[in-house]
Structure 1
Amino acid sequence: MTQGQGKRVAFYAPMKSPHHPVPSGDREMARNLINVIGANGAQVDLVSELRIYDKHGDSDVQQDLRSQAEAEATRLIRDMPPADLWVTYHNYYKAPDLIGPTVARARDIPYVQIESTRATSRLTGPWASFAQSAHYACDAADAVFYLTEYDLETLKRDRYGDQQLVHLPPFLPTDTLPPASTLNGPMLATGMMREGDKLASYSLIAQTLAHLSGDWQLHIAGDGPARSQVETLMAPYGDRVTLLGQLDRADLAQAYAQASLFFWPGVNEAFGMVYLEAQSHGLPVVAQDRPGLRDVLAPGSYPTPEAGPQAMADQISQLLGDRDLSVKRGAEARTFIAATHLAPAATQRFWSAVPPLLEKPQ
């Protein structure tokens, strides 16, 4: 029997249900996890859509959510169908799992988390109570699947007992690679246009372009409330920079399929699915050597943030001036994605780690 076949998994995402009407990376990841966990024949049940999320650190909101969670846990203990395993996605200080540990303990089933963070700095301040609950929930987990080495640091520091920490690399929700890019088109950047880290990446892009010579072109896919700032940043480059706006999946895939390289500095990115998408199309990537990015970029040389825009411009010039190098880097990127960052690899990682938990007396 295939690992996972015939098992029943209770799934919960406290921050945002996979059925939530507003698109987001969290919603997409929850949907993808349900698919990869169920790919080997397991039945994955979304057992609750109660949203436990406090954006502003409001004690009244937190207390109300605790009351709702207590009632929901009581309901699930009574009414939830039989399950072999409970999985919670994204437990952290703004969205602690206030339900899973209670139900899993009452039902006597293993409890695991995926992409959890421990933030001791939040144990004081407006989220202190929720941060403590997130820690308690993390302590209750028999295993925690982490996506990046950066997350592993605090998970190891605060690991509870013999808790397993299992690497689950970020993955694309597909079994196969898309066609390789022709590498004949413009450079491509893509990112939400909003204040903060995203705008900081756009600012670095603009500074880097000032160091380029020759006949280059850049297309930018994305939109958002900071679009006017991005337009101002790119204005000095005239028609060399084209803002494509927000693209749907098909149009973005077409942009990848023609781009010469993918350029996104990655300021404080947790990891960035766009890097996986770009590399799956065989695009060489120009980005900075940052903690979250190291888990999703093919092995290679990436400039440090301290090296500044000039170092990224040097890499771009090298790639645009040497097609053989671009083809080689792109092929390496596709090999890297195929080996560790597609859905089948995620399914295999998950179901290789879970069976021992199912055999242990709870």
Structure 2
Amino acid sequence: MPWYSFKEISARFDDVVLINTPAMDKVVERLAALQRYGFSVRQRRLLSAIYGRIINRRLAEIKPDIVLSIGASHKLIRIDPKWRLLHVSDGLFMTMVNYYEKFGRFRQAVLRTGHNDLQQFMCKVDLTLFASQWAHDSALTHYDLDPARARVDLFGANLDVDPGFRERQLDGPLTILFVGYDWERKGGDLVLATWRLLREATGDAELHIVGCKPAVAANIDGVTVHGRLRKSDPRDYAKLTHLYDRASMFFMPSRAEAFGMVFCEAAAYGIPSVAAITGGVPSVVIDNETGLLLDLGADARAYADRILDLWSDKVRFRAMSLAARRRFETHLNWNAWGEGVERGINDILSGVISPR
């Protein structure tokens, strides 16, 4: 279970038991490379049977009031249907397969098995909380789901400390921050091309790149490549915080993005985000309110024009910065997500949501 979601759940409920399957998880991780050949170990019936035996045995010992699954559908396909079950997802199997290019090599047998197993699992789920409207709507399209058993509950920013709101510097250079480990999928080339236009227009625009070290961005005046900064390292975390504090806008026009946790983090600092309309991003960034959203096919000139238009209007920029922070305070934090989970659990246990 992801740390921040586990931390939130543990703070809300007195008796939380985490079922770990480290040995099996290592096997799955090692065999994940086989995806490039169209093979997916997660969609193997033997794997789901092994997970099923391990988890059902633990559940029989624990006797929980409810089972909370966070992105663990492949482990719970064989779960005993007697348990009440709330599932959290940023996208079900067919949603992801039809969206991410890396799954395009999956063989038909893998697709059939994955789809059928997921449908079998969803028949045992009392309620699913989707991280975005996109994931929610796609699930209703691909699977036989009762709309009353599907809700949207946004994820939060992965921050240990709320940074609070600070006014952006408007009298210095336009400073663009990119944070992403996958330069190509996160739209890095488009970011660099856009920055060149911004630099030409302003004379001093800066670009800071975190999470990767693209060769095309090396040794360029005005571009600083920071590489990977680990939040677990105090020095790296302080550096990342400093970059967020200095940034004018956060820019990550991903080619594919199921959610985009970094947009939540930018909002926590009151930084308007600039992104492409794809996947779950429009649930996180609200166009012309908390940031700028452009069509997936938009080019560098289109991005540069909208960024410069916003940067030239200080009143509008300040309003967008404040709106981004408010969006974090009301929706894009783990406490807000936890409220949705707690509400869902209460609705299941109280009978508002009837048993499957």
Same fold (TM over 0.5): yes
CA shift in 2, pair 1:38/1:73, >3 Å: closer
CA, structure 1 residues 204+288, in 2 after alignment: closer, same or farther (shift >3 Å)? same
Deviation at 1:114, TM superposition (A): 0.3
**What is the match of residue 14 of structure 1?**
none
Q: Measure, in 2, the Cα distance between the counterparts of 1:169 and 1:244.
A: 29
Task: Report the secondary structure of 2:16's partner residue.
Answer: strand
Query: Does residue 1:219 correspond to 2:207, yes or no?
Result: yes
Distance between the aligned counterparts of 1:151 and 1:73, measured in 2?
26
Structure 1 equivalent of residue 8 of structure 2:
36
CA offset digits 1:189-228 (Å, max 9, x no partner): 3333436413xx111112212322122333333244xx3x
Is 1:111 matched with 2:85? yes
2:110 maps to 1:126: yes
Distance of 2:164 and 2:146 partners within structure 1? 43
Given candidates 221, 244, 247, the residue that maps to 1:239 is 221
The total of aligned residue pairs comes to 318
Three-state SS of the structure 2 residue aligned to 1:357 is: helix
Q: 1:159 to 1:36 in 2, by over 3 A?
A: farther
Query: Matches of 2:316 and 2:15 in 1, distance apart?
Result: 45
Amino acid at match of 1:266: S
Matched, 1:315 2:315: no
Whether the 8 Å CA contact 1:219–1:244 is kept in 2: the answer is no
Give the Cα–Cα distance (whole angstroms) in 2 for the partners of residues 239 and 97 of structure 1: 51
- Cα distance in structure 2, aligned partners of 1:342 and 1:70: 32
How far does residue 44 in structure 1 lie from its aligned partner after superposition? 1.9
**Separation in 1, partners of 2:294, 2:52:** 49
* SS of structure 1 residue aligned to 2:156: coil
Q: How do 1:293-304 residues align onto structure 2 when only pairs under 5 Å count?
A: 293-300=281-288, 301-304=292-295
Any idea what SS the aligned residue of 1:302 has?
strand
Unaligned runs of 5+ in 1: 1-17, 19-29
**Counterpart amino acid of 1:84?**
D
Quote the Cα distance in structure 2 between the aligned partners of 1:352 and 1:331. 28
User: What SS does the corresponding residue of 1:347 show, helix, strand or coil?
Assistant: helix
After superposition, give the CA deviation of every residue in 1:267-293 in whole Å (9 maximum; x if it has no partner): 211121111111211112222233321
TM-score calculated relative to the size of structure 2: 0.78
- Letter in structure 2 aligned against 1:342: N
Q: Show the counterpart of 1:11.
A: none
Q: Deviations over 1:248-306 (max 9, x none)?
A: 33321211111122122122111211111112111122222333210111342522233
In 2, are the aligned partners of 1:39 and 1:347 still within 8 Å (CA)?
no
Aligned-residue offset at 1:169: 0.8
Q: Distance in 2 between matches of 1:182 and 1:60?
A: 45
Determine the C-alpha separation between the residues in 1 that align with 2:246 and 2:88: 35
Determine the structure 2 residue equivalent to 1:356.
347
The residue aligned with 1:68 is: 50
* Amino acid of the structure 1 residue aligned with 2:215: E
- Cα distance, 1:196–1:139 mapped onto 2, change above 3 Å: farther
Q: Name the residue aligned to 2:103.
A: none
With structure 1 as the length reference, what TM-score do the two structures score?
Answer: 0.77
Structure 1 residues 123 and 169: CA distance shift in structure 2, 3 A: farther
Which residue is equivalent to 2:119?
135
Partner of 1:332: 323
Matches within 5 A, 1:144-223: 144-157=128-141, 158-161=143-146, 164-173=149-158, 176=162, 178-183=164-169, 184=172, 187-194=175-182, 196-198=184-186, 201-212=187-198, 213-223=201-211
Asked if 2 retains the 8 angstrom alpha-carbon contact of 1:86 and 1:109, the reply is yes
C-alpha spacing 1:128/1:218, structure 2 compared with 1 (3 Å): farther
Per-residue Cα deviation, 1:314-356 (whole angstroms, up to 9, x for no partner):
1222233333332221111111211111222112211222212
Give the alignment partner of residue 90 of structure 1, picking from 66, 71, 86: 71
1:250 aligned onto 2:238: yes
